[in-house]
Structure 1
Amino acid sequence: MSVPEPVPGPHGPSFSGRVGWGSRPAVVVIDLVRAYTDPDGPFGLPAPGRAVEATEALVAAARAAGHPVVWTVVRYAPDLADGGLFVRKVPALAAFAEGAPGGWGELVLQPGPGEPVVVKQYASAFFGTSLAPTLHAAGVDTVVLAGVSTSGCVRATAMDALNSGFRPQVVREACADRTPAVHEGNLADLDAKYADVVGLEEALAHL
């Protein structure tokens, strides 16, 4: 079997090939909770509104076309015993412990009937969770990624999606981070090596 020639991208012929779209996409909404969207939250972002609106559009399009939608949240035991070294590195993650005040782990958009909510303890939505077998069982070959933050959980999930044999499509307008520079820098690196970064219009057309 011949190997296809790489498609040159904005980073030169060594990077930015395209994984493309398969035949069965799913939208994965990553950690879009009040901790990020509320300005007083422990991870409050400067301007999350556009990402929330774009994610809402993706979810609506997926539902209308009958494509799966999966949601993720971070949740820990009350004593953070299942947080490992991650909660030591990022102490503010204690906001996601069961019973923690503030309700910071509440989703901003509501899952629909039958849409699974995957609970995770680390950045990647695939690490130590049921996400991969859930998607495989549904025949999914392409994951459309939205949520927060671009440099953290979105990036880690995109990398593990590729590692797990899914085609990751990161939607630029549907993600957000603590600064525009961090957001754009991570999108550029993801597009170079681990995922296709696409605009909202393209993603909606494929959905």
Structure 2
Amino acid sequence: MTGSQQEDYERAGFGGQLAPGTSPALILVDPARAYVDRDCPLYAGVESAVEAMKSLLADARRAGIPVIITRVRLRADGSDGGVFFRKVPTLRAFTEGNPFGEFIDGLAPAADELTVTKQYPSAFFGTALAAFLTTNRIDTLLIGGLSTSGCVRATALDAMQHGFIPVVVEEAVGDRDPAIHAANLFDIKHKIGEVWPIGRVEGYLARTGERR
């Protein structure tokens, strides 16, 4: 984004700061093979984001915070995907039994971590995620995953609307187009939550781990 766009948003009153709380959880949104397998139409060239997600996941586990990893699973005919499936037919990559829908190596949830199965962009829509976070007294949701303009943005928006502070980890999200990726991070930062570089998140998690 240009300096003039930044100034315009600030004049309009966008971009207030949200201070993360002391009880975070990590959510990795849809780390599916579809986005890194060149044989899949959804391949997005997001390998660098995947490596950052692996680092972020390791940091979260060391800090001892709850970890949630989402996946999309649809019936073979896509009927439970509704209008979304009709709008984006390549979602057939996430139908039951399709290997493109499996977790990327190194980003599968551990046995004691929560897997959220969804059919739509937001990790909150039609799932028990909000109840899980509330029950565990979570106040901050660290967000990595794929893709920035789709399921990551939708999840960040719903996190804010449910009262959780969303912190999108800049290097740990990715999209198929760099310009769209950057535009969505800009918009998330100014209207929805915080966008932090991974180094800042690492420091936050280290301090969180020390308190536990």
Aligned twin of 2:21 = 22
1:7-54: CA deviations, max 9, x gaps?
A: xx86315011111210111110000110011122221112x1211111
Q: Quote the Cα distance in structure 1 between the aligned partners of 2:136 and 2:112.
A: 13
Identity of aligned residues (%): 47
* Alpha-carbon distance in structure 2 between the residues aligned to 1:37 and 1:19: 33
Provide the secondary structure at the position in 1 that maps to 2:14: coil
Deviations 1:122-167 (CA, angstroms, capped at 9, x unpaired)? 0000001111111111111100000000000000000000000000
2:210 match: none
The equivalent of 2:100 in structure 1 is 104
What aligned pairs does 1:162-201 form with structure 2 within 5 A after superposition? 162-201=160-199
- The worse-fitting range, judged by mean Cα deviation, of 33-42 and 166-175 is 33-42
| Offset, 1:97 | 1.1
- Select between 134-143 and 67-76 the one with higher mean Cα deviation: 134-143
Q: Give the match for residue 4 of structure 1.
A: none
Helix, strand or coil for the counterpart of 2:28? strand
Partner secondary structure for residue 84 of structure 1: helix
Residue 119 (structure 1) aligned to one of 117, 120, 124: 117
Distance 2:43 2:167 in 1: 25
For 2:37 and 2:193, how far apart are their aligned partners in 1?
28
| TM score, norm. by length of structure 1 | 0.91
- Equivalent residue of 2:158, what SS? helix
Q: Compute the RMSD of aligned alpha carbons.
A: 1.2
Q: Which runs of 4+ in 1 moved over 4 A?
A: none
Q: Report the TM-score, using the length of structure 2 for normalisation.
A: 0.89
Aligned to 1:72: 70
The gaps in structure 1 that reach 5 residues or longer are 1-8
What residue number does 1:3 align with? none
2:69 touches 2:108 (CA, 8 Å); kept in 1? no
Q: Distance in 1 between matches of 2:170 and 2:40?
A: 23
